């Protein structure tokens, strides 16, 4: 074989190796995505497929992640360095533009000249759009940061906005002899709206609460099998809740992953096998007892959960308390919660059916 033929064979072999690595890496990344969605059975299946193609695929994946991280770090350094590099030219042209006219002032300087009352009106409108927009606005400049989070006004606006949408259990209010929640709020928090938002749970409406449940189940050997070991299956399913401020709640239990369910999860066009329920908040657990009710032909169902914070995320989780089934005679049965997992809130920017 000639030298040229050897070189061609080496190049072809190298391309073949790259194709194998790319194929294995692509399958491994599918497994990573399945693991993020909570579908461990599918994730393990993809991991095994990738390892059969290339046993070093995990190292290749970790190397790729590191390279991407280093690239992001370099880009961040360049972004930080660019204002310094152009500081001299910016200082020279601070007062004049290319035509020799006076240059426009930076937005933050304009805001400094505007009265706080006007800016607080802007902040109010942003808060009524969404809490996320409120946070993003505070990051735009020092002035807005000061007005957004070092002023009691925005906290009062958001508290009035979010708690007005909550639905409280009338029976619980009557039993506690409460006719005016406003008076109770003043007695407990004394108009400290920032503390109220930290301590008093509330339901979020701009997304879904999702619970990913994984558990192991013993299977059955195929007919005629002589194996003494029974197969073990990993079962994965999802619970979805979407709450509406009118007191309705859309509930779904399915094996479909969030990527398939979330975009079209709406009460206007309910997904197959979903159920429309009613929700309310009880006064127990510091206003954090969530009660979800639904009724069928023979039974009524009551699910109680506790709204909890998760790390820095306020009122982000729903923890199971109990799940009850009530028949027409009033007999109550309690469902097992052994395999159930907490719900975590997932922000959704827009639903396809709401556009």
Are 123 and 137 within 8 A, CB to CB?
A: yes
Query: Residue 90: what pLDDT?
Result: 41
Length of the chain: 355
Q: Where are the domains of the chain?
A: 3-81, 105-150, 207-354
**Secondary structure (3-state) at 148:** helix
Query: Residue 309: what pLDDT?
Result: 93
Query: Residue 95: what pLDDT?
Result: 46
Query: Residue 312: what pLDDT?
Result: 86
Tell me the Cα Rg of the chain.
Answer: 29
Query: Residue 86: what pLDDT?
Result: 42
Ranges of H-type helices in 176-273 = 181-189, 193-199, 258-261
Per-residue pLDDT of the chain (355 residues; tens, 9 = 90+): 554 455 454 445 555 778 888 888 889 888 888 887 777 778 888 888 888 888 888 888 888 888 888 888 887 777 655 544 444 444 444 444 445 454 444 456 667 777 888 889 999 999 988 888 888 888 888 888 888 888 888 999 999 999 999 999 888 888 888 888 888 888 889 889 999 999 999 999 989 999 999 888 777 666 666 666 667 778 889 999 999 999 999 999 999 989 889 988 999 989 999 999 999 999 888 899 999 999 988 899 999 999 999 988 899 999 999 999 999 888 999 999 988 999 999 998 777 555 5
Query: Residue 186: what pLDDT?
Result: 85
Query: Residue 8: what pLDDT?
Result: 52
Instruction: Look up residue 160 and give its two tokens.
Output: 């009035």
Query: Residue 138: what pLDDT?
Result: 87
Residue among 344, 354, 350 nearest 240 (CA):
344
Residue among 192, 224, 239 nearest 341 (CA):
239
């Amino acid at each position: 074989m000639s030298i040229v033929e050897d070189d061609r064979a080496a190049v072809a072999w190298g391309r073949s190796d790259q194709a194998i690595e790319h194929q294995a890496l692509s399958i491994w990344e599918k497994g990573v995505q399945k693991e993020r969605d909570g579908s461990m059975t599918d994730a393990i299946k993809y991991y095994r497929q990738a390892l059969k193609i290339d046993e070093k695929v995990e190292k290749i994946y970790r190397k790729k992640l590191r390279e991407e991280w280093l690239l992001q770090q370099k880009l961040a350094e360049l972004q930080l360095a660019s204002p310094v590099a152009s500081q001299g030219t910016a200082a020279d042209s601070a007062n004049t533009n290319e035509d020799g006219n006076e240059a426009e002032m930076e937005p933050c300087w304009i805001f400094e000249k505007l009265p706080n009352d006007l800016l607080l009106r802007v902040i109010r409108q942003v808060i009524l759009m969404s809490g996320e927009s409120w946070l993003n606005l505070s990051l735009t400049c020092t002035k807005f940061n000061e007005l957004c989070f070092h002023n009691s006004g925005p906290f009062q606006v958001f508290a009035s906005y979010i708690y007005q949408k909550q639905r409280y259990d009338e029976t619980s209010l009557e039993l506690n002899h409460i006719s005016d929640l406003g008076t109770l709020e003043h007695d407990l928090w004394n108009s400290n709206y920032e503390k109220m938002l930290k301590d008093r749970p509330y339901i979020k409406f701009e997304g879904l609460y999702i619970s990913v449940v994984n558990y192991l189940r013993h299977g059955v050997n195929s007919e005629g099998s002589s194996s003494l070991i029974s197969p073990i299956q990993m079962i994965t399913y999802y619970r979805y809740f979407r709450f509406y401020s009118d007191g309705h709640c859309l509930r779904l239990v399915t094996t479909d992953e969030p990527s398939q369910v979330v975009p079209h999860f709406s009460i206007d066009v309910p997904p197959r096998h979903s159920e429309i329920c009613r929700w309310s908040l009880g006064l127990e657990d510091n206003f954090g007892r969530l009660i979800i009710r639904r009724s069928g032909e023979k039974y009524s169902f009551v699910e109680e959960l506790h709204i909890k914070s998760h790390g820095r995320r306020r009122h982000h989780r729903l923890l199971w308390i109990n799940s009850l089934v009530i028949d027409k005679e009033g007999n109550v049965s309690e469902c097992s919660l052994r395999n159930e997992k907490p719900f975590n809130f997932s922000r959704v920017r827009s639903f396809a059916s709401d556009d």
